A and B are shown apart, each in its own frame.
Chain A
Amino acid sequence: MFQFDTLSLVFVALIILGAIPNLFYSGGYLPHIERKTHYLLHYFTFIFSMLGVVVSANALVFLFFWEIMSLSSWQLILTEPKEKSTINAARFYFLMTHFGFVFLLLFFLIVTNGDLEISFAQMKTVAAAFTYPTMLFFFLILGFLSKAGAVPVHVWLPYAHPAAPSPVSALMSGVMLKVAIYGMFRFLFDVLYPWPLQWGTFILIIGSITALTGILYALAERDIKALLANSSIENIGIILIAFGMGMIFDTLGLTLLSTFSFIAAIFHVFNHMGFKSLLFMGAGSILHQTHTKDLEKFGGLIKSMPVTAFTFLFAAMSITALPPTNGFLSEWMIFQSLLSSSTIAHAMTLKLALPFALFALAMTGGLAIATFVKAYGITFLGLHRSTNAKHAKEVNFLMQSGMILMALFVASLMLFAPQYLHFFDALMVSLGKTSVYAQIFPNGSLQMHSLGVNGGVVSPLILFAALVGVTSLLLFAYKAFNVKTRVHRSWACGYKTSAKTQYTATGFSGVMRRFFNWLYKPEEHTSKQNLAGHETKFSDASYEVKIKPLFEVFIYDNIKRWVNITSYWVYRLAHFEQTRYPAMIFNLMLFILYSYRIFTHEIDWQSILIEMALMLMSLKILVIGEKR
Chain B
Amino acid sequence: MILYFVTIILLVLIAPMLLSYIKATKMMLLFKRPISIFQGYRDFSKLMHKETIISEETSAITTYAPFLVLSPLLIVMFFLPPVVHGSYYVSFVDAFTITGLISLSTFFLMLLGLDSASAFGGMGSSREAFISALVEPAMVLTIFSVSLMAGDLGVGQAGVNLAQHFPEEHMASFLFAGISFFILLMAENGRIPVDNPETHLELTMVHEAMILDLTGVYLAIIETASSIKFVIFASLFASLFMPFGLEFSAPIAFLIFIAKLFFIATLVALLEVNTAKLRLFKIPNLLGLAIVFAFLSLITFYVLGA
Which residue numbers of A lie inside 8 Å of B, CB to CB?
299-300, 302-303, 306, 317, 320-323, 328, 332, 335-336, 339, 342, 348, 351-352, 355, 358-359, 362-363, 365-367, 369-370, 373-374, 376-378, 380-383, 447, 450, 452, 454-459, 463, 466-467, 470-471, 474-475, 478, 481, 483-493, 495, 497, 499, 501-504, 507-512, 514-515
Asked if B107 contacts A351 (CB within 8 A), the reply is: no
CB within 8 Å for A454 and B55 given contacts A358-B141, A474-B70? no
Q: What are 15 contact pairs spanning A and B, CB under 8 A? A: A302-B60, A320-B103, A323-B100, A336-B96, A355-B144, A359-B291, A369-B106, A369-B110, A370-B129, A382-B114, A382-B115, A471-B71, A490-B56, A493-B118, A504-B122
Q: Which residue of A lies closest to B117 (CB)?
A: A382
Asked if B111 contacts A376 (CB within 8 A), the reply is: yes
Q: Which residues of B contact A497 (CB under 8 A)?
A: 57, 116-119
Q: Which residues of A contact B110 (CB under 8 A)?
A: 369, 373, 377
Asked if B299 contacts A378 (CB within 8 A), the reply is: no
Per CB-CB distance, the 7 closest pairs between chain A and chain B, nearest first, are A503-B122, A456-B94, A366-B136, A377-B114, A366-B133, A492-B118, A457-B92
Q: Which residue of A lies closest to B122 (CB)?
A: A503
CB within 8 Å for A355 and B141 given contacts A369-B103, A454-B151, A470-B71? yes
Asked if B51 contacts A458 (CB within 8 A), the reply is: no
Asked if B213 contacts A467 (CB within 8 A), the reply is: no
CA distance A125 to B298 in the complex (A): 43
CB within 8 Å for A457 and B154 given contacts A369-B132, A487-B54? yes
Asked if B133 contacts A339 (CB within 8 A), the reply is: no
Asked if A365 contacts B213 (CB within 8 A), the reply is: no
Asked if A320 contacts B107 (CB within 8 A), the reply is: yes
Asked if A492 contacts B212 (CB within 8 A), the reply is: yes
Asked if B52 contacts A485 (CB within 8 A), the reply is: yes
Q: Which residues of A contact B51 (CB under 8 A)?
A: 483-486
CB within 8 Å for A378 and B114 given contacts A488-B53, A508-B126? yes
Asked if B281 contacts A514 (CB within 8 A), the reply is: yes
Q: Which residue of A lies closest to B49 (CB)?
A: A483
State which of A303, A332, A373, A514 has its C-beta within 8 Å of the C-beta of B129.
Answer: A373
B282-305 contacts to A, CB under 8 A, are: 284, 291, 295, 298-299, 302-303
Q: Which residues of B contact A306 (CB under 8 A)?
A: 60
Asked if B140 contacts A474 (CB within 8 A), the reply is: no
Distance in Å: Cβ of A360 to nearest Cβ of chain B? 8
Asked if B122 contacts A474 (CB within 8 A), the reply is: no
Asked if A322 contacts B93 (CB within 8 A), the reply is: no
Q: Which residue of B lies closest to A322 (CB)?
A: B104
User: When each residue 54-87 of chain B gets 1 if its CB lies under 8 Å from chain A and 0 otherwise, what string results?
Assistant: 1111111100100110111011001000000000
The answer to whether the Cβ of B17 comes within 8 Å of any Cβ in the partner chain is no
Asked if B217 contacts A377 (CB within 8 A), the reply is: no
Q: Which residue of B lies closest to A468 (CB)?
A: B71
Q: Which residues of A contact B59 (CB under 8 A)?
A: 300, 302-303, 380-381
Q: Which residues of B contact A495 (CB under 8 A)?
A: 118-119
Q: Which residues of A contact B75 (CB under 8 A)?
A: 463, 466-467, 470
CA distance A359 to B136 in the complex (A): 9
CB within 8 Å for A501 and B119 given contacts A458-B93, A478-B67? yes
The answer to whether the Cβ of B127 comes within 8 Å of any Cβ in the partner chain is yes
Asked if B119 contacts A502 (CB within 8 A), the reply is: yes
CB within 8 Å for A383 and B101 given contacts A369-B107, A492-B120, A502-B122? no
State which of A323, A377, A382 has its C-beta within 8 Å of the C-beta of B104.
Answer: A323
The answer to whether the Cβ of B97 comes within 8 Å of any Cβ in the partner chain is yes
Q: Which residues of B contact A454 (CB under 8 A)?
A: 147, 151-154, 157
Asked if B96 contacts A377 (CB within 8 A), the reply is: no
B232-253 contacts to A, CB under 8 A, are: none
Asked if A332 contacts B97 (CB within 8 A), the reply is: yes
Q: Which residues of B contact A373 (CB under 8 A)?
A: 107, 110-111, 114, 125, 129
Q: Which residues of B contact A455 (CB under 8 A)?
A: 94, 153
Q: Which residues of B contact A351 (CB under 8 A)?
A: 302
Q: Which residues of A contact B281 (CB under 8 A)?
A: 511, 514-515
Q: Which residues of B contact A475 (CB under 8 A)?
A: 64, 67
Distance in Å: Cβ of A320 to nearest Cβ of chain B? 7
